[in-house]
Structure 1
Amino acid sequence: MSRKAIKKPLLLVLACYLGIAAVLSSCTTGSKNDPPPTGQSESPGTSGTEERKPLSITVFNNAANYQGEQTGWYGKLVKDKFNLTLNILAPQVAGDQLYKTRTAAGDLGDLLIIDNSQLEELLPAGMIMDLTDRIKNTKYLSQYVDNHFKPFNAAFEAINPDGKIYALPTFTADTSPTTFSEEIPYSSPIMPWDYYSGIGAPKLNNLDDLLDALKQMQEKYPATPDGKPIVPITLWKDWDGGSMENVRWLGNWYGFEHPTGTTTIQLNAKGDIVPLIDDNSMYKKILQFYFKANQMGLVDPDSPSQDWNKVAEKLTNKQVLLLWYSWQRGFYNTIERGRNGDGNVAVPIADTRILQNSDAYYGSGRVFAIGSKAKDPDRIIEFLDWIVSPEGMRYYTNGFEGFNYEKTEDGKFRLTEVGQTAFQNNTPVPDEYGGGGYQDGQSKINSMIMSDFVFDPDTGEFYNNNYWSATIEANKTTLTTDWQKAYNATNPTDYYIKNNMIDIVPNINTSLGSDSSEIKNKRSQISDYVKNTSWRMIFAKNQDEFDQLWEKMKSDVEGLGWADVFETDSGRAQKIIKLRAEAVASK
């Protein structure tokens, strides 16, 4: 699928109401063919910190997997440039109660990375700062904000006639509302190519074939060369939201997503809404898959007790056979290993039809905002302005020039030998950059205003180094060429498109509304019940117990207010369906 440069301004589809209406302006770089704006060779914050007082800000961050002070090379970078210290609060680490406690106190934090629905709650409470005038005075953010906002959905005009800017959507892209730029879907079957080839690379027609292949690999490759046990499937609880996260994403393999902000439904590309507890739901199909896997001895026994950090360690050591997030490959794959045919690759299953959201042209479901009681908001805006500058983008996505990457003769970039493995190896960083391990010191913000699928104005290539021409050329290794020969495709996305095995739907960024206190309470109880029962079903002793737990869950959630929450979620799904149709019509 081609990546076309967009010549029209990026539109935002995020509005907030409940008494205080707000439209959040979106950000994007210029077209691939546009020259960089003049006077931008220097980034903000380079004047030094000699006249700045030290400032420690609280970053309330739904995206973070780490809680505490940002240290390491990124911490030093921010300290040197802005005399800022970032103290991160992470609900994924501390639990959802953190949000409730801090909002009850009237101060969530200084810099906020929050969900759209939370923004809707915080605005009428007076806890979000109006950024309109401050952004007008910035060097970089002001380029990407459309001050003459034309809402994607005309209905938003009525609820925000002034077009004020209260927050900035995350991960905005520079492509189009219907383009998917990545070489592999966000969630699809991924396995080690050498192990899969080692059992004869059997064709996978369905999930049962996948389990058989995993069993064969488990028997042939029980441990890593240094003796660490290899597990076919590993699960973890700490990312569970409205339902079991590890179940949610495998549902996408068969065309159904679990829309963010909903608990009770699954939605496909045609707009069909299926209750999560329907006997034919994809949620039940994936639970059954995991249950059968556990009965075959394929599920990591650590799953009920381990957290994501332990899983990441296993991925780095190549101790897991089945991956399903595209980015999980980065924990092990390197160009050097690829030259030896070693690495994790997509292994398509014939009966799948993947549901894939397009590039986040309008942004994703979270935003950057500033708390109304923030300390020195101008300094925070300056920091955010730098984040979206070419320099800030390069540091976040690719580390240090000269250490992680270098310029080529044609003015583009290529990874250095160190840069190719710095993340996987947690390579020591030179003291001049802050010392410590590279992975340890990466930005713990774990979110971006603009995605790495934005064009660097100096190179004309995406900030994402996987798509640099130098990387693509270097990646012509045994691993990639063997895969291409086996599947007669350039990459997994190309394969799925050629074989009519993928539905790419517009990535809609809008507020789906916030729950009333009654619905919120019912949703919380239902979510907890569904998550807990899901885990019990996977580890049920036999099929009878699995079925009994399912039937009991179906009955019990009705008593918890399922019908009311389902009605709310169905209304939200209808909004998504409508906006997707409009996005397709607008391309």
Structure 2
Amino acid sequence: MKHLCRKVVAGIGIMAMCASMAACGGDTAADGVDDGSEMTVEVFDSLANYQGEQKGWFAKLVKDKFNITLNIVAPNVAGGGSTLFDTRSAAGNLGDIIIMGSGNGQAEDVVKAGLVADISEYIDDTEYLKQYQSAIDELTATANQESGVWGIPTSVSSLAPTESSEGVEPTFGPFVRWDYYKAIGYPEVGTLEDLLPVLKQMQDAAREAEGTDDIYALSLFKDWDGEAMQNGYQFPAFYGYAEGIGYVLSNAAGDDYQSLIDEDGQYVRALKFFNKAYQMGLVDPESTTQNYDTMYSKYKEGKVLFSFWPWLGQAAYNTTDHKEAGQGFMMLDIDDMTIASKGAQPNGTSTFIAIGANAKNKERLVKFVDWLYSPEGIQASGSQTNGAAGLQGLTWDVDEDGQPYLTDFGVKAVSGESVTVPDEYGGGDYTTGASQLNVSTVLNKDIDPNTGVAYNYQMWDSELAKRDTALDVDWQEHMGGARTTMEYLESNDKLAVIPGATYSAPDEDSKISAVRGQVKTSVVNACWQAVFTSSDAEFDQVWADAVANIESLGYDEVYQVDLANSKEMTAARQEVKEQYESQSQE
């Protein structure tokens, strides 16, 4: 998704010629008086996976509150994101509300082209947006403007940048079919490499129990590959090295930078792990040809035993019935792991929400955006998979002590079950009628001032109390009584939190971009080829030959650019950490 956002603005250079067109329609005085009548608002949303008019209960909520109908324009759906952006930019009207990335000069370009409005005159009258002035100021600086409010960053947070942004589950982690891990006696796993014989035992046990040989410990996929084989980034994250910039892996502490192709680095270690697993017969043979969706279906069918992420294995397989039967994915502990975790970002991410320069009734649009940052708006517009509880009174409510809980309807709705919304709330299927904006305005781990607990319903005591299935209880007994994965990791000092800072690498020289394109193709091919070799000696030879070829293409030139950017990113993280600590002491 983040790569698509960049593509959406790739052709932004043409916008200079349409600046005057955009500016002539963007004068607030020309908007006239807002009579409050119904208006259709076009939302150019580079994150949305839906195009067209918002329907259902969220549409009714917005209509009732603002007399607005949202019409979403989504490059993700339309295809050719850059073309769509260029076409609308050339017409001088990108949209009434714009959701897009600010990195790589994007914010500066849309401001200079006159495609977004300065909404500073409305901010003082907002209830929520003005609370994020620091984040707004940073975006203004990113847009290379000395003043004005040109957009509102998203995923803003009141938490410290050194506090994990994750709720009950980390982004990364070694998640396994716990029932088969139990079946082989819960063996201790000292290092990543020690996981291999454990997975072999689990695979043997699963095949015997199910009476089939099409169950594999690991299943891989290609369609998320970018700078390199995407699956290879996951194991470094178990040791504090989250995916960095280009061909550099950097650790959470910011004191180590590794080249992706370094023979002794964490990324090549991951490739060697995959290769050894392949030699042991643990890798799904369709890994080289399948996409994510095909692989996901195998998790649902119980055909894969290891998951890099909780939102893969658990989402696909951990149904209530399976959990009550003691079956499902849970994290096992690797003795020497320290999992990389992204810290909260007080100033938000590089994605921002802006008002189009040509939009009518800007004040009403600002009020709508302000509502998206309100407690009600956060829960109603957020993604249920990320812990948004939906609409109070329908999917959730508070008890006599003021503590939040999911209603019976809400339990079914947030689990993805098809449920019909009562007519008074708009009718239709709940999931279909949920917000299609696909944007998180405020971090869901932040505290809802109305309840005193996190917005994320998965962190509510009422939900944690439900972790009493056979699977949950068995896992908890072997994890020191921890109720959740994050509780275990935090209490055992197994998190490496990367300070949350907004950073975007600058535009690079066209020559470097051309070299990067050649290098990228060779690196991706080399990774897959090396993983599927039949011996350690063959792996070493294939990888050595590949590295020689990659280096001959100019890899070091690209790496040096990425290294410089990685060090700037570390400096930005340190700066936001120190800034937060300074403000906290005032």
TM range (shorter): 0.7 to 0.9
Call closer, same or farther: CA 1:364–1:68 in 2, change over 3 Å: same
Q: 1:276 is matched with which residue: 260, 283, 295?
A: 260
User: Deviation per CA, 1:150-174, whole angstroms, max 9, x where unpaired?
Assistant: 769xxx9799573433332221222
Q: 2:478 is matched with which residue: 486, 497, 500?
A: 486
The equivalences for 1:548-559 within 5 A come to: 548-559=541-552
Q: Distance in 1 between matches of 2:479 and 2:43?
A: 50
Q: Tell me how far 1:198 sits from its aligned partner.
A: 1.8
User: Does the CA contact (< 8 Å) of 1:235 and 1:300 recur in 2?
Assistant: yes
| TM-score normalized with structure 2 length | 0.78
Q: 2:277 is matched with which residue: 276, 282, 293?
A: 293
User: Does the CA contact (< 8 Å) of 1:128 and 1:369 recur in 2?
Assistant: no
Q: Distance in 1 between matches of 2:293 and 2:60?
A: 25
**Which residue in the other structure is 2:27 paired with?**
none
The equivalences for 1:7-86 within 5 A come to: 51-61=37-47, 64=48, 66-69=49-52, 73=56, 76-77=59-60, 80-81=63-64, 82-86=68-72
Q: Distance in 2 between matches of 1:216 and 1:422?
A: 38
Call closer, same or farther: CA 1:516–1:334 in 2, change over 3 Å: same
Q: Distance in 1 between matches of 2:535 and 2:135?
A: 60
Q: 1:258 is matched with which residue: 203, 227, 243?
A: 243
Partner-residue secondary structure (3-state), 2:194? helix
Call closer, same or farther: CA 1:537–1:423 in 2, change over 3 Å: farther
**Which residue in the other structure is 1:448 paired with?**
440
User: Does the CA contact (< 8 Å) of 1:386 and 1:392 recur in 2?
Assistant: yes
Q: Distance in 1 between matches of 2:353 and 2:545?
A: 41
Partner-residue secondary structure (3-state), 1:54? strand
Q: Distance in 2 between matches of 1:421 and 1:316?
A: 19
**Which residue in the other structure is 1:142 paired with?**
129
Matched-pair identity in %: 26
**Which residue in the other structure is 1:517 paired with?**
510
**Which residue in the other structure is 1:429 paired with?**
420
Q: Tell me how far 1:448 sits from its aligned partner.
A: 1.0
**Which residue in the other structure is 2:181 paired with?**
196
Indicate the larger mover: 185-194 or 483-492.
483-492
Partner-residue secondary structure (3-state), 2:73? strand
Residue 304 (1) aligns with residue 299 (2): no
Q: Distance in 1 between matches of 2:211 and 2:438?
A: 32
**Unaligned runs of at least 5 residues, structure 1:** 1-17, 21-48
Q: Distance in 1 between matches of 2:554 and 2:83?
A: 22
The equivalences for 1:43-442 within 5 A come to: 51-61=37-47, 64=48, 66-69=49-52, 73=56, 76-77=59-60, 80-81=63-64, 82-90=68-76, 94=79, 98-99=81-82, 102-103=85-86, 106=89, 109-110=94-95, 111-114=98-101, 116-117=103-104, 119-120=106-107, 122-123=109-110, 126=113, 128-133=115-120, 135-136=122-123, 139-146=126-133, 162-180=146-164, 182-222=167-207, 230-259=215-244, 262-268=245-251, 269-328=253-312, 329-333=314-318, 338-370=323-355, 380-395=365-380, 396=382, 397-430=388-421, 432=423, 438-442=430-434
Q: Distance in 2 between matches of 1:158 and 1:194?
A: 49
Q: Tell me how far 1:67 sits from its aligned partner.
A: 4.9
Q: Tell me how far 1:377 sits from its aligned partner.
A: 5.8
User: Does the CA contact (< 8 Å) of 2:169 and 2:486 recur in 1?
Assistant: yes
One-letter amino acid of the counterpart of residue 208, structure 1: E
Call closer, same or farther: CA 1:50–1:340 in 2, change over 3 Å: farther
**Which residue in the other structure is 1:567 paired with?**
560
User: Does the CA contact (< 8 Å) of 1:423 and 1:438 recur in 2?
Assistant: no
User: Does the CA contact (< 8 Å) of 1:128 and 1:166 recur in 2?
Assistant: no
Indicate the larger mover: 461-470 or 378-387.
378-387
One-letter amino acid of the counterpart of residue 283, structure 2: V
Partner-residue secondary structure (3-state), 1:237? coil
Q: Distance in 1 between matches of 2:430 and 2:218?
A: 28
**Which residue in the other structure is 1:37 paired with?**
none
Q: 2:573 is matched with which residue: 559, 570, 580?
A: 580
**Which residue in the other structure is 1:528 paired with?**
521
User: Does the CA contact (< 8 Å) of 2:56 and 2:428 recur in 1?
Assistant: yes
User: Does the CA contact (< 8 Å) of 2:338 and 2:496 recur in 1?
Assistant: yes
**Which residue in the other structure is 1:461 paired with?**
453
Call closer, same or farther: CA 1:372–1:251 in 2, change over 3 Å: farther
Partner-residue secondary structure (3-state), 1:452? coil
Q: Tell me how far 1:363 sits from its aligned partner.
A: 1.8
Q: Tell me how far 1:347 sits from its aligned partner.
A: 0.6
Indicate the larger mover: 98-107 or 569-578.
98-107
Q: Tell me how far 1:508 sits from its aligned partner.
A: 1.6
One-letter amino acid of the counterpart of residue 416, structure 1: T
One-letter amino acid of the counterpart of residue 465, structure 1: Y
Q: Distance in 2 between matches of 1:242 and 1:123?
A: 27
Partner-residue secondary structure (3-state), 2:221? coil
**Unaligned runs of at least 5 residues, structure 2:** 1-12, 16-34, 383-387, 582-586
Call closer, same or farther: CA 1:208–1:386 in 2, change over 3 Å: same
One-letter amino acid of the counterpart of residue 112, structure 1: I
When you count helix as a share of all residues, which structure comes out higher? 2
Q: Distance in 2 between matches of 1:147 and 1:257?
A: 26
One-letter amino acid of the counterpart of residue 52, structure 2: E
Q: Distance in 2 between matches of 1:127 and 1:165?
A: 13
Q: Distance in 2 between matches of 1:378 and 1:311?
A: 47
Q: Distance in 2 between matches of 1:461 and 1:250?
A: 33
Q: Tell me how far 1:459 sits from its aligned partner.
A: 0.9
User: Does the CA contact (< 8 Å) of 2:136 and 2:151 recur in 1?
Assistant: no
User: Deviation per CA, 1:49-103, whole angstroms, max 9, x where unpaired?
Assistant: 9931434443222xx5x35336664664477452112232228x94xx6336634
Equivalent residue pairs, number: 530
**Which residue in the other structure is 1:473 paired with?**
465
User: Does the CA contact (< 8 Å) of 1:188 and 1:324 recur in 2?
Assistant: yes
User: Deviation per CA, 1:3-30, whole angstroms, max 9, x where unpaired?
Assistant: xxxxxxxxxxxxxxx9x9xxxxxxxxxx
Indicate the larger mover: 67-76 or 464-473.
67-76
Q: Distance in 1 between matches of 2:553 and 2:122?
A: 45
One-letter amino acid of the counterpart of residue 139, structure 1: T
One-letter amino acid of the counterpart of residue 288, structure 2: P
Q: Tell me how far 1:247 sits from its aligned partner.
A: 1.6
Q: Distance in 1 between matches of 2:330 and 2:174?
A: 8
User: Does the CA contact (< 8 Å) of 1:428 and 1:435 recur in 2?
Assistant: no
Call closer, same or farther: CA 1:270–1:537 in 2, change over 3 Å: same
**Which residue in the other structure is 1:506 paired with?**
499
Q: Tell me how far 1:132 sits from its aligned partner.
A: 3.4
Indicate the larger mover: 185-194 or 549-558.
549-558
Q: Distance in 1 between matches of 2:118 and 2:211?
A: 54
Q: Tell me how far 1:452 sits from its aligned partner.
A: 0.9
User: Does the CA contact (< 8 Å) of 1:175 and 1:359 recur in 2?
Assistant: yes
CA RMSD, Structure 1 to Structure 2 (Å): 3.7
Call closer, same or farther: CA 1:187–1:419 in 2, change over 3 Å: same
Call closer, same or farther: CA 1:101–1:521 in 2, change over 3 Å: farther
Q: Distance in 2 between matches of 1:580 and 1:98?
A: 31
